[in-house]
Copies of this chain bind each other. A is one copy, B any other.
Amino acid sequence: MSDRPVIRPLPAIDRARQVTDALADYIKSAQLKAGDRLPAERELMSALMVGRSTIREAIRHFQALGVIETRKGSGTYLLKPVSKATIHMPLSLDTGHLREALLQTLEVRRGIECEACMVAARKRTDKDLILIEQNLNEMERVHIEKGTSGPEDLAFHLAIYDATHNPLFRQLLEQMRETFWQFWEHPFEREDFARRSFPFHRTLFNAIAARDTEAAREETLKILEVVEEDIKEMSK
């Protein structure tokens, strides 16, 4: 019984890829931001003229990649904007204990973080420098006031990453932080974690301001050494 030729001539290969691409394209074209809600599965289904299971498998794909999140009864939400051209690079880390995973990740982070600060020292514009200093001042203010500074510390480092004018640094380092926040026993939030690294933030800023790449590397290493010691201490 001839289903006549084809309204949808695409059965060629890989409908799944087509759907993930279509989803990514929609996200891009609709200018969706993190937190925005995506169309319901049944809407996508009729819009793309594919079965619901196909839609769901595409959603699961992005879910695994940390791009979207589903909330039962509510909808699916965007976590990180993507496009069809986005390159996904999933890493799998196998270690015995969490402590080991943390330290190994820190070792890699040391390489990336040092390079980021060196590049920032070389490529930063005056505007970048102003932003970094603002975040540093805010961080120091909060630190002195409350004795600790979680979000402000992060903001300071992110400002440095942005000063590299290479988005990969921010994406990589931010994602590494996030991943371990998931596995961390949140309630810990030790008030004194990495507190000893506090003074090196100002010296790191000075190095970047002076465009002194080697000094920037030195100061970054000092900060990370404190982090390493504290991780070893806490997870003992």
Q: How far is the CA of A172 from the CA of B179 in the complex (A)?
A: 15
A105–B89 CA distance with the chains assembled, in angstroms: 11
Whole-angstrom distance from the CB of A20 to the nearest CB of chain B?
Answer: 9
Alpha-carbon separation in the docked complex, A178 to B30 (Å)? 31
Interface contact A67-B85, CB-CB below 8 Å:
no
The answer to whether B107 touches A168 (Cβ under 8 A) is: yes
The answer to whether A94 and B56 have CB atoms under 8 Å apart is no
A92 & B101 in contact (Cβ 8 Å cutoff)? no
Contacts of A16 in B (CB 8 A): 60
| 30 A-B pairs whose Cβ atoms sit less than 8 Å apart in the complex | A56-B57, A57-B60, A64-B64, A64-B90, A65-B90, A66-B90, A66-B92, A67-B92, A81-B94, A82-B92, A86-B92, A87-B94, A87-B95, A87-B101, A87-B183, A88-B91, A89-B91, A89-B175, A90-B90, A90-B175, A91-B91, A93-B171, A95-B167, A104-B166, A105-B168, A107-B164, A108-B112, A108-B115, A108-B172, A114-B115
